[in-house]
Amino acid sequence: DAIHYGAKKTMEMIHFDPRLEHPFIVQVFGKDPEHFLSAAKVIEQLGADGIDINMGCPAAKVVSSCHGSALIRNPDLAAELVHATKKAVQIPVSVKTRLGWDKIETLLPFCQRIIEAGAEALAIHGRRYCDKFSGAANWDPIYELKKALPHIPIIGNGDIASAADAVTKIGNLDGVMVGRGTFGNPWVMGEICEALRDRNEMQQMETQQTETQQRCVSTEDVQMTPNISTISFAQKIPLILEHCALAVRLKGEKRGMLEMRRHLASYVRGQPGAAEMRARLVVAEKIEDVKAVLCV
């Protein structure tokens, strides 16, 4: 809705430099097909590479407005939103959703419906709406969905915090999506990309070997870049400050530092005196405050 009305803050959120940032996909949420149609046109004109429709957010204020996960219970409206978006643009349209509202059995028919409406790829979080973020993500229904829809790119999401997690969980899927696992650990993205690339290369090599020479790919086979445990806190500090500087440059000091607080709290997790540092970092208002806590 905010893009449809040209809300300044929202337009600032989707600002990006097309010379530097690709692929760039804008995720939208709402419930009005006409608003989706007009917003999609704006997003395409900005130069985005794709549009993703959020049908999985479990936040109470989102669901109470019939956005996000609420659309799982309204497949007709969900399909209308996809159709309106796809009708408006030439760039790909995807959907991110969950296993279901309270029943996993609805996953396949729901996904079939939105694919028929024009969704070209799916990202599935391995929990139902009723689970919120409790318990472990269940990837088995996502694997089964891929078997039922082999022609559709399907990405798994939920509890990916390391390259080993990604290699273990990707299974028959086309990719993995990382969310909370990046907090305090942004380099995990590079580690995951390298690990999956190595995995794919090894699988290609195995297809060229004779049956007696073939071996299974395991997480031990994959050579990964140094993970978070091998990076000292002293090495993290310049990265933390660079992260803060980028946030401030992109969003201004007030908003940038507000958004950094959750990341700062994660960066110091497990360090001596973490509780005291975290208490000071979650009220930091400027980069100088962060430097003072980190003794820079």
- Residue from 57, 66, 111, 130 carrying the catalytic annotation: 57
Tell me: pLDDT of 114 over 50: yes
Q: Which domains does the chain have, with CATH numbers?
A: 8-159 (3.20.20.70), 232-294 (1.10.1200)
Q: How far is Cα 185 from Cα 207, in angstroms, rounded to an integer?
A: 34
In sequence order, the 6+-apart residues with CB closer than 8 A to the CB of 108 are 144, 145, 148, 149
Confidence (pTM): 0.85
Pairwise CA distance, residues 190 & 290, whole Å: 25
pLDDT on residue 219: 47
The alpha carbon of residue 67 and the mean position of all alpha carbons in its chain are separated, in whole angstroms, by: 18
Partnered with residue 53 across adjacent β-strands are 28, 95
Peptide bond into 33 cis (omega under 30): no
Element (H, E) at 84: helix 75-88
Indicate the SS3 state at residue 213. Answer: coil
**Confidence class for position 20, pLDDT limits 50, 70, 90:** confident
Q: Which residues contact 274 (CB under 8 A, 6 or more apart)?
A: 268
* Amino acid code (one letter) for 72: I
| Out of 20-29, 43-52, 65-74, 131-140, least confident range | 20-29
Is 57 a residue of the active site? yes
Q: Which residues lie below 8 Å from residue 102, measured CB to CB, with a gap of 6+?
A: 128, 129, 130
Least trusted range by pLDDT, from 38-47, 167-176, 276-285 = 38-47
93-109: per-residue pLDDT in tens?
A: 999 999 999 999 999 99
What single-letter DSSP state applies at residue 57? -
Between CA 280 and CA 266 the distance in angstroms is 13
